Amino acid sequence: MTKRPTLFRPSLLCCLAGALFLAIGINAYAAPKKASPKTATEKSTAKAAPKKAPATEYVSVLKDGANIRSGPETNKEILWTVFKGFPLQVTSRQGKWAQVVDFEGDKGWIATELIAKEKTVIVKASTANLRSGAGKDYEIVAEVKQGVVFKSLTSEGEWNKVKHADGTTGWILGKLLWPN
């Protein structure tokens, strides 16, 4: 049985780590390569870069079963599926697609034909009290679970008046909703 020096493995690991950090450091500070000028044909066939959306644009989904995808094409992976009324924040647009973020911070792409500017909100707290008026002293109409969507009607101070698809109307504390 051969005995290896005790410093052999740590020394090897330190050398490999140092080389890795050196390689990362060189790439991180390297000047970007300049692209060659494009011809008119290349410019017309190049895909447009995503346009930044106006400051904080919120939309809602128009139909049940709308797919949120990993990229702005129908052949991209479906990340999750959303239902009618689900609120989303648009972060950019590219052609007929919108890059969106949901109330949990998950990101993806949705076809713009599947969204509308109607203001909806979703309960982000584990539970929230739907009250008959704008304040904690008002009667509780219902206890609402996380993920329930409402149409936003108006606000009064910290409270939002909302309406559920089943017709139930009431007030919820704004900090329990997204967007608020």
Q: Is residue 19 part of a domain?
A: no
- pLDDT band at residue 51 using 50, 70 and 90 as cut-offs: low
Interval 131-175: pLDDT, tens: 999 999 999 999 999 999 999 999 999 999 999 999 999 999 999
How close are the terminal C-alpha atoms of the chain, in Å?
Answer: 69
Q: What is the CATH number of the domain that holds 127?
A: 2.30.30.40
**How far apart are the C-alpha atoms of 82 and 67, rounded to whole Å?**
6
Residue 84: pLDDT over 70: yes
Q: 93 and 127, same structural domain?
A: no
Interval 87-142: pLDDT, tens: 999 999 999 999 999 999 999 999 999 999 999 999 999 999 999 999 999 999 99
Q: Is residue 25 part of a domain?
A: no
Q: Is residue 36 part of a domain?
A: no
Closest CA to 106 of 122, 118, 127, 84: 122
Q: 171 and 111, same structural domain?
A: no
- Do residues 66 and 110 lie in contact, with contact meaning Cβ atoms separated by under 8 Å? yes
Q: Is residue 6 part of a domain?
A: no
What is the pTM assigned to this prediction? 0.69
**What residues contact residue 92 under an 8 Å CB cut-off, 6+ apart?**
50, 51, 52, 53, 98, 99
Please compute the mean of the pLDDT values over residues 21-29 and round it to a whole number.
Answer: 32
Q: Is residue 1 part of a domain?
A: no
**How far apart are the C-alpha atoms of 90 and 54, rounded to whole Å?**
9
* Last residue within a domain, chosen from 101, 118, 135: 118
Give me the pLDDT at residue 69, please.
Answer: 98
Strand partners, 59: 88
Range of the domain at 67: 49-118
Q: What is the number of residues in the chain? A: 180
Give me the pLDDT at residue 52, please.
Answer: 56
Q: 149 and 111, same structural domain?
A: no
- Kind of pairing between the strands at 159-163 and 169-173: antiparallel
Q: 140 and 85, same structural domain?
A: no
At position 166, the amino acid (one-letter code) is: D
* Last residue within a domain, chosen from 97, 118, 139: 118
Q: Is residue 91 part of a domain?
A: yes
Q: How many domains does the chain have?
A: 2
Q: 88 and 129, same structural domain?
A: no
Give me the pLDDT at residue 180, please.
Answer: 84
- Do residues 58 and 90 lie in contact, with contact meaning Cβ atoms separated by under 8 Å? yes
pLDDT above 90 as % of the chain: 68
* Last residue within a domain, chosen from 118, 150, 166: 118
Please compute the mean of the pLDDT values over residues 53-78 and round it to a whole number.
Answer: 92
Q: 103 and 130, same structural domain?
A: no
Residue 34: pLDDT over 70: no
